[in-house]
């Protein structure tokens, strides 16, 4: 046959996720850790991987890793689920709490995968935009209004804290109030919480409707391996278990994840350095005429710059890859730079100055 039927109608308006990843000297577009796992840890990773039986299926629930994560968070195994990156667990959220006739509350601009997952699962999306004039703070009153009351249609919401790509974390007190005013599932996406040093963990015991999502991809330098996890009530975790792919976290990733998690203290100095560099970048960008950085609690800085698209190209031509959000809805005129090593940050700042005609 030289033709094929139309796919599901819901795909019509969707475009495949494209991180716009291009090879560059300074990769500063994907909010990864600029430092790879060091040699000593790599040796431990290698010997752990060598012991993995490749002919056997992995433990479907990654129980050894699950126990390590549970113990570190003062929880039981039943309150933890490991996924193929946070991305899988975000999709599972839409599978388990979304669907036809159900509503997802989204706070754009935010991680675009949330809304894509809702569309893929035929979930209705209620958007409450963030307030750009207040550094993209959440419109807290509007959110509380939308979820409370007997008429609320909202079944679940995902709130990135800090929020990608804008930068600020949500106020903990606001999230607490939100959890108390609705029985909708509230996912606090803490993919970057190591850089804000704020977590909703203290709210977990009293709120069955809270799920905390985290990842090994950022602070733990493991974006290439694909390990993420959620913390939640055992009943909620059980619902997630119904929709997940049985062997989504392969045995090699589980082995690497265990070594990295057991050695997570080794990443602390790197996290500190990223936080310091973030503050330096913020300060330097604030001092550049015409450039407006937004405050950040994460490992990147979003900034407005005139002729952002051309500036992106100038930076790229000079070997610096940043993320172009200049034509994205609600983010017009902005670029996002992930914090790099000191050398990469210097290169970025120098090249941006040149692009702006500042010497
Ligand atoms: N949440 C947010 C806000 C993110 O930015 C990302 C990564 N881009 C993820 C979750 C998922 O990360 P991963 O799948 O690498 O764990």
Calculate Rg over the CA atoms of the chain. Answer: 21
DSSP 255-296: HHHHHHHHTGGGGHHHHHHHHHHHHHHHHHHHTSTT-EEPP-
pLDDT for position 159: 98
pLDDT for position 7: 94
- Is residue 80 pLDDT above 80, yes or no? yes
**pLDDT class for 21, splitting at 50, 70, 90?**
confident
Taking the model in full, what pTM does it have?
0.97
Residue nearest to ligand 1 atom 2, measured at CA: 191
249 three-state secondary structure: coil
Segment 173-182, tens digit of pLDDT: 999 999 999 9
pLDDT for position 58: 98
Q: What's the chain's average pLDDT? A: 97
- Round to whole Å and give the CA distance between 21 and 309: 16
Residue whose CB lies within 8 A of the most ligand 1 atoms, among 20, 27, 87, for a mutation test: 87
Centroid of ligand 1 to alpha carbon of 93 (angstroms): 14
Q: Considering the chain, what percentage of its residues have pLDDT values greater than 70?
A: 100
Residues with CB under 6 A from ligand 1: 85-87, 111, 160, 164, 189, 191, 215, 217, 223, 228
pLDDT for position 31: 97
Centroid of ligand 1 to alpha carbon of 175 (angstroms): 20
Q: Which is nearest to 212 in space by CA: 74, 35, 58?
A: 74
Mean pLDDT of 77-85: 98
**pLDDT class for 267, splitting at 50, 70, 90?**
very high
Segment 323-353, tens digit of pLDDT: 999 999 999 999 999 999 999 999 999 999 9
pLDDT for position 13: 82
pLDDT for position 151: 86
Which atom from ligand 1 is nearest to the alpha carbon of 163? Answer: 3
- Is residue 359 pLDDT above 80, yes or no? no
pLDDT for position 93: 98
Q: What is each CA distance from 320 to 50, 164, 284, 309, 327, in whole angstroms? A: 36, 20, 17, 14, 19
Residue with more model confidence, 97 or 21:
97
Residue whose CB lies within 8 A of the most ligand 1 atoms, among 158, 162, 164, for a mutation test: 164
Residue nearest to ligand 1 atom 5, measured at CA: 164
Mean pLDDT of 190-202: 98
Residue nearest to ligand 1 atom 1, measured at CA: 191
Mean pLDDT of 182-202: 98
Q: Mention every residue, 6+ apart, whose C-beta is less than 8 A from residue 65.
A: 82, 227, 249, 254, 257, 258, 261
Centroid of ligand 1 to alpha carbon of 123 (angstroms): 21
pLDDT for position 136: 98
What tokens does 210 get?
Answer: 């809270």
Which atom from ligand 1 is nearest to the alpha carbon of 30? Answer: 8
Centroid of ligand 1 to alpha carbon of 6 (angstroms): 31
Q: Mention every residue, 6+ apart, whose C-beta is less than 8 A from residue 194.
A: 218, 219, 267, 271
Centroid of ligand 1 to alpha carbon of 228 (angstroms): 9
Which atom from ligand 1 is nearest to the alpha carbon of 217? Answer: 15
- Is residue 27 pLDDT above 80, yes or no? yes
Which atom from ligand 1 is nearest to the alpha carbon of 90? Answer: 10
**CA 275-278-281 angle, 5° bins:** 155
Mean pLDDT of 118-142: 97
Residue whose CB lies within 8 A of the most ligand 1 atoms, among 215, 222, 302, 325, for a mutation test: 215
Centroid of ligand 1 to alpha carbon of 18 (angstroms): 14
pLDDT for position 258: 98
- Is residue 227 pLDDT above 80, yes or no? yes
pLDDT for position 358: 87
């Amino acid at each position: 046959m030289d033709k094929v039927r139309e796919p599901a109608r819901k795909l019509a308006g969707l475009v495949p996720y494209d991180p716009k990843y291009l090879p560059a000297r300074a990769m500063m577009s994907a909010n990864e850790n600029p430092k790879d796992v060091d040699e000593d840890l790599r040796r431990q990773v290698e010997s752990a991987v060598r012991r993995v039986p490749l002919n056997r299926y992995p433990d479907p629930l990654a129980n050894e890793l699950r126990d390590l994560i549970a113990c570190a968070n003062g929880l039981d195994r039943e309150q933890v689920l490991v996924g193929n990156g946070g991305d899988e667990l975000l999709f599972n959220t839409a599978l388990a709490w979304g669907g036809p006739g159900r509503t997802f509350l989204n706070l754009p601009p935010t991680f675009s995968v949330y809304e894509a997952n809702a569309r893929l699962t035929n979930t209705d999306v209620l958007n409450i935009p963030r307030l750009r004039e207040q550094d993209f703070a959440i419109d807290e009153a509007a959110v509380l209004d939308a979820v409370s009351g007997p008429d609320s249609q909202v079944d679940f919401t995902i709130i990135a804290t800090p929020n990608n790509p804008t930068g600020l974390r949500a106020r903990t007190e606001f999230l607490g109030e939100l959890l108390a005013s609705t029985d909708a599932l509230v996912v606090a996406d803490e993919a970057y919480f190591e850089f804000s040093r704020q977590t909703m963990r203290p709210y977990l015991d009293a709120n069955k409707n809270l799920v905390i999502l985290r990842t090994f991809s950022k602070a733990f330098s493991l974006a290439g391996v694909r390990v993420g996890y959620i913390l939640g009530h055992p009943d909620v975790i059980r619902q997630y278990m119904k929709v997940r792919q049985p062997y989504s976290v392969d045995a090699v990733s589980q082995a690497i994840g265990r070594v990295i998690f057991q050695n997570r203290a080794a990443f602390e100095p790197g996290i500190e350095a990223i936080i310091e560099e973030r503050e330096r970048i913020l300060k330097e960008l604030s001092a550049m005429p015409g450039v407006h950085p937004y405050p950040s609690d994460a490992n990147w800085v979003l900034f407005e710059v005139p002729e952002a698209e051309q500036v992106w190209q100038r930076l790229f031509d000079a070997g610096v890859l940043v993320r172009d959000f200049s034509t994205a809805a609600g983010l017009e005129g902005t670029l996002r730079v992930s914090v790099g090593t000191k050398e990469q940050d210097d290169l970025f700042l120098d090249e941006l100055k040149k692009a702006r005609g500042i010497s």
